[in-house]
Every structure is written in C-alpha cells, then in structure tokens.
C-alpha cells in the first residue's frame, strides 16, 4: 500500500496542478504542501479534505486501492474458508 501523501502527489501530477496552486487553494504556504508531499509533515483529515477540494476530487480517491484490496482479500478469504468447509464435509 502506498502512503497517502504519495497518492496525493500522483493525483496532483496527473491533473497537471502545481504545488503552489494547491497551497494557495488551501490557504497555506508552498513549504507546507512540500512537507506533505514528501511525507515529512503529518497529513490530517482536514488538510486532506482541503487538498482534495483543491484538486477537485473526492477524498476517497486517496484510499480507493486500499479499500479494493481489503474487499478483494476478504472475498478471497471467504471463498477459501467455504472451500475448506466443503472439503472437510466430504
């Protein structure tokens, strides 16, 4: 799983938005955003929401793969357990 700050950077770059633009939209300095983008500054939920708004994306985009991976793992785990139960009954 990638850290959230890396996902934020991926989205920012893919949208062609500058670090300065995000910082200004969030009412912060460029050094504030630089700290976040490098993982040196703690990213709280409020700041993440501000960044998502500046990027015009839903905040959940930064967690999508983790949610998908968790659901896929759960489904595979449940399938495996069902199979084990069925073979145990044979």
Confidence class for position 88, pLDDT limits 50, 70, 90: low
What is the domain extent for residue 43? 4-89
Question: In a 3-state reduction of DSSP, which class is residue 33?
Answer: helix
**Each residue's pLDDT tens digit, 4-36:** 999 999 999 999 999 999 999 999 999 999 999
- In 3-state terms the chain splits into helix, strand, coil percentages (rounded to 5) of 75, 0, 25
How many C-beta atoms lie closer than 10 Å to residue 2's C-beta?
Answer: 12
Q: Please say whether the beta carbons of 25 and 55 come within 8 A.
A: no
pLDDT at residue number 64: 77
When divided into structural domains, the chain yields a total of: 1
**Using CA of residue 28, residue 29, residue 30, residue 31, what is the dihedral sign?**
negative
CATH number where 84 lies: 1.10.260.40
């Amino acid at each position: 799983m990638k850290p959230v700050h890396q996902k934020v950077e991926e989205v920012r770059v893919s949208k062609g938005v500058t670090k300065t633009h995000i910082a200004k939209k969030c009412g912060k300095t460029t050094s504030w955003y630089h700290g976040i983008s490098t993982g040196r500054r703690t990213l709280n939920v409020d700041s993440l929401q501000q960044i998502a708004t500046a990027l015009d994306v839903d905040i959940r985009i930064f967690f999508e793969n983790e949610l998908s991976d968790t659901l896929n793992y759960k489904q595979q785990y449940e399938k495996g357990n069902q199979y084990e139960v069925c073979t145990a009954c044979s």
